[in-house]
Amino acid sequence: MKNFFITFTILFVLNLASYSQGVLLDEEALIDVKEYSSLEDALREPDKVYKLNLSGMEFSEFPEDIVRFVNLQSLDLWKNQITSIPPEIGTLQNLQFLSVGENQLRTIPEELGLLKNLVMLNLEDNDIEYIPPAVCNILNLENLNLSGNKLESLPENFGSLKRLINLNLFGNNLHSLPASFGSLASLQSVDLSENTLRELPNEIELLKNIMIFDIHKNQLLEVPGQISKLAQIPYLNMAENELRILPSELGNMTNLQMLDVSENQLSELPDEIGNLKFLQELNVSQNKLVVLNPNIGKLSRLQNLQLAKNALSDLPPNIGNLAALKDLDISSNILKSLPAEIGKLRALKNLNLFNNQLTQIPDAVGNLSSLEILNLYYNKISSLPATIGNLSNLTDLHLANNELTALPDEIGKLKQLKMLNLKNNKLVKLPAQIENLNKLESITLRENNFSQEEITTIKSLLPEGVKAVY
C-alpha cells in the first residue's frame, strides 16, 4: 500500500509539472480541468488557467490580461460586445478552442494564424467583412464557424485548411468560392446557405468526404455536373435558388436520402431522378413543373414527396409504385383527377390535395388503409365515393370549400375520425351514421344549406362532447 501511494504521488507531481510546462491536453482531459468564469479568480493563479469562460460578461473590449494565461487552451468570450481582437492573441500558443461569437467584431487579426494548435474557432454573428489569408495557416483547425457575418469572399488560400471537418458560412454575402475550396479534403459538413452565390466551382468534386452540403437560399442558376462526384452525400439542400435545370449527372448520387430543390425555377426533372434508389425525401415544391417525370415511380424507398405549388394537371400512373410513401403533398396545383393507381400507396399516412381542381375522388382511395390525414380543401368535389368508409385509420378529414351536396352513409365507418371540416359546401343534411363517430372531437358545418330542423337533428346525432361550429 505504501508503494502505491508513493507511485501515485510521483505521477500526480509529474502531471502537475506537465501542466506547468504547457503540455496540450486532449479533449477528455480538458473537460475535467477547472473552468474559470471570473477574470479576477483566474488572475490569482494564471499558470493554472487552462479553461476560461467569460461569455455574457458585457465586455466592450478584449480583456488584455487574457494574454497572461500562457497555458490557456479554451477561451469562451461568446456574447459580449467586443469590437476587436488584439494581435497579442497570437501569443496564446496552446489555445485549442476559441469562441468569440455574438460580439461586434468587424475585423480579425492575422495573428490568429499563429495559433497552430487551434482546432475550433467560432466567430459567428459578428460584422466581419474580411478573413486575412494568414488565418488559413491554422493547419490543425477542424471546426470553423463564420456564420452570420458580412463576408463577400474567402481567401484564395482557404483550401490550406486541410484538416477542416465542419464549416459554417451560413448568412454571409459570399458571391463566389475560391478554386482552392476543393482542397478541403477532410471536410464532412458545409453550410453555405443564405449567401449570394451564383455558381459553384468545378473543384467541389474533390470534396470526397463531404456528407452534408447545404447551399439553399443562394442565387445559383445551375449546378455543375461535377457535383455528382460527391456520390457519398446522403443530404443535399439546393432550395431557394434560381435553378432552371438539374444536371443529368445527379442520378449518379446514388447514396442520396434527402434532396430538396424547392423554390427554384425547375420545369422538369431529369430522367435520371429514377436512379436515386435510396432517396427517402424529395421536395420539389414551388417550382414550375407541368409534368411529373414518370421515372419518379422507381424511387421505391421514397417516404416523403413534396410537389406543392407547381402546375401539375395530372399524375403519372406509376406513382402507385411508391410503396414506401407516407407523406404526399400535391397541394396548390391544377389537378383535375387522380389516377386509380394512387390506391396502391398502402403506407400513405398524409395526403394533401388542397387547392386543386378535383371534381371527384377515385374509388381506389378507399384502399389507403394507413391514411390518417386527408386534405381536400378548395377543390370542386360534388360527391365522395362510398369506399371512403374503408379508411379505418383516418383521424382528420378536410372537405371545406367544395361542392358537396351529400355525404355517403359509409362516413359513419370512420371510427378513428377526430376532425371533420365541411365548411362552405352545398349540404342540406348529414347521414344518420354520424352518430357512430365515437372519437369525433370537432366538426365544422358553417356556410352550407342546413335548415334549423336539420341542425337540431345533427345535434342529437353527434356524440357527446363534440365541438360543433354551425
Express each pLDDT in 310-329 by its tens digit. Answer: 999 999 999 999 999 999 99
Q: Which helix (H) or strand (E) holds 328?
A: strand 327-329
Q: Is the pLDDT of residue 18 over 50?
A: no
Cα separation, 341 vs 102, whole angstroms: 54
Report if residue 463 sits inside a domain. Answer: yes
The pLDDT of residue 27: 86
Confidence of residue 23 (pLDDT cuts 50, 70, 90): confident
The pLDDT of residue 134: 97
The three three-digit cell numbers of residue 215, written as one number: 447551399
DSSP assignment string, 427-447:
-S---GGGGG-TT--EEE--S
Average pLDDT of the chain is: 94
DSSP assignment string, 374-424:
EE--SS------GGGGG-TT--EEE--SS--S---GGGGG-TT--EEE--S
User: What are 74-78's contacts with CB under 8 Å, separation 24+?
Assistant: 74/30, 74/35, 74/50, 74/98, 75/99, 76/52, 77/103, 78/102, 78/103, 78/122
Q: Is the pLDDT of residue 13 over 50?
A: no
Q: Is the pLDDT of residue 231 over 70?
A: yes
Cα separation, 153 vs 435, whole angstroms: 66
Q: Please report, for the domain that includes residue 462, its CATH number.
A: 3.80.10.10
The three three-digit cell numbers of residue 245, written as one number: 435545370
Report if residue 457 sits inside a domain. Answer: yes
pLDDT tens-digit map of 260-314? 999 999 999 999 999 999 999 999 999 999 999 999 999 999 999 999 999 999 9
Q: Is the pLDDT of residue 223 over 60?
A: yes
The pLDDT of residue 19: 40
Confidence of residue 71 (pLDDT cuts 50, 70, 90): very high
Pairing assessment for the beta strands 235-237 and 258-260 based on DSSP bridges: parallel
Residue 299: helix, strand or coil by DSSP?
coil
Q: Is the pLDDT of residue 181 over 60?
A: yes
The three three-digit cell numbers of residue 361, written as one number: 375522388
Report if residue 459 sits inside a domain. Answer: yes
The three three-digit cell numbers of residue 134, written as one number: 494568414
Report if residue 208 sits inside a domain. Answer: no
Percent over 90 (pLDDT), the chain: 94
What residue type is 117 in one-letter code? N
Residues 6+ apart with CB under 8 A from 28: none
Closest of 240, 239, 259 to residue 251, by C-alpha: 259
Q: Residue 349 sits in which domain range?
A: 338-470
What size, in residues, is the chain? 470
Confidence of residue 22 (pLDDT cuts 50, 70, 90): low
What residue type is 333 in one-letter code? N
Report if residue 16 sits inside a domain. Answer: no
Report if residue 171 sits inside a domain. Answer: no
Q: Is the pLDDT of residue 9 over 80?
A: no
Look up cell 361550429; give the residue.
469
Cα separation, 300 vs 392, whole angstroms: 25
Q: Is the pLDDT of residue 77 over 80?
A: yes
Closest of 35, 67, 62 to residue 48, by C-alpha: 35
Q: How many domains does the chain have?
A: 1
pLDDT tens-digit map of 396-406? 999 999 999 99
pLDDT, average across residues 432-452? 96
What residue type is 296 in one-letter code? I
Report if residue 403 sits inside a domain. Answer: yes
Residues 6+ apart with CB under 8 A from 242: 219, 220, 221, 264, 265
In 31-151 the beta strands, taken as DSSP E runs, fall at 35-36, 51-53, 74-76, 97-99, 120-122, 143-145
Q: Is the pLDDT of residue 21 over 70?
A: no
The pLDDT of residue 5: 34
CB half-sphere exposure, 6, CA atoms < 13 A: 3
Q: Is the pLDDT of residue 15 over 80?
A: no
Q: Is the pLDDT of residue 212 over 50?
A: yes
Q: Is the pLDDT of residue 93 over 70?
A: yes
Report if residue 53 sits inside a domain. Answer: no
The pLDDT of residue 11: 35
Between 14 and 177, the higher pLDDT residue: 177
* Least confident segment among 4-13, 22-31, 215-224, 440-449: 4-13
The three three-digit cell numbers of residue 143, written as one number: 471546426
The pLDDT of residue 65: 96
